[in-house]
């Protein structure tokens, strides 16, 4: 099924502003970056986590480490969908850290639930906070983000497509069907 673009809701400048704002909000809530680690949900959550780490380091002169999380085996639909497994790379201890879980789009909440299960296999963080670029609603689980770049009300049949320069050559967020 081909994606038919209806509207662009964020461009490169809007994404940059959202990342800067989220970074400031994370620092304010956590009173600095000393105890922070960022874990991006593979794939686009990793790009966003890298950008947040870079932005935080410019503000605080502390570089929070970034981990990469593959949630394939933690998904609740693994029995009904073919999964493409990638590696998880968390080269730091999460024990007693403030973990910022990062993803591009929050929809039903099922990916976040899977990610939290996966993180707990690495230890017991002091806290787990959620940062997303887009919150599109339609939650099926009681999960809400702590940091949001943009709320975009959508219908269930619509798709939100996030493109990052690291993967697609340019930054944008578009809605389509």
Q: How far is CA 92 from CA 88, 96, 99, 119, 127, in A?
A: 12, 12, 11, 12, 15
CA pair distance 108, 44, nearest whole angstrom: 17
Q: Supply the pLDDT for residue 111.
A: 95
Q: What is the mean pLDDT of each run of 10 residues along the chain (177 residues)?
A: 89 98 98 98 96 98 97 79 82 98 97 97 98 97 97 95 93 96
Radius of gyration of the chain (CA): 16
| pLDDT (0 to 100) of residue 80 | 65
**Domain range 5-176, CATH architecture:** 3-Layer(aba) Sandwich (3.40)
The answer to whether residues 112 and 143 touch, using CB atoms and an 8 Å cutoff, is yes
Q: What is the pTM of this model?
A: 0.94
- Edge-to-edge strand list for the sheet holding 172-176: 5-10, 172-176, 159-163
What's the confidence (pLDDT) of residue 82?
65
Per-domain residue ranges for the chain?
Answer: 5-176
Strands 127-135 and 147-151: parallel
Q: Which residue intervals of 39-149 are DSSP H helices?
A: 44-60, 110-120
| Six token digits for residue 34 | 């000393």
Are 94 and 11 within 8 A, CB to CB?
Answer: no
pLDDT (0 to 100) of residue 26: 98
């Amino acid at each position: 099924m081909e994606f038919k673009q209806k509207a662009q809701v964020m461009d490169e400048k809007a994404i940059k502003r959202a990342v800067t704002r989220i970074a400031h909000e994370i620092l304010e809530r956590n009173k600095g970056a000393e105890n922070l680690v960022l874990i991006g949900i593979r794939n686009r959550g990793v790009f966003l986590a890298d950008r947040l780490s870079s932005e935080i380091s410019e503000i605080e002169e502390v570089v929070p480490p970034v981990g990469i999380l593959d949630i394939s085996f933690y998904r609740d639909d693994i029995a009904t969908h073919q999964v493409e497994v990638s590696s998880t790379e968390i080269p730091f201890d999460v024990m007693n850290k403030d973990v910022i879980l990062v993803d591009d789009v929050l929809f039903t909440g099922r990916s976040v639930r899977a990610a939290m299960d996966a993180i707990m296999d690495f230890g017991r963080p002091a806290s787990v906070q959620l940062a997303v670029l887009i919150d599109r609603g339609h939650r099926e689980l009681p999960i809400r983000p702590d940091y949001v770049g943009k709320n975009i009300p959508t219908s269930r049949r619509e798709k939100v497509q996030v493109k990052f320069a690291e993967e697609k050559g340019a930054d944008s967020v578009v809605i389509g069907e």
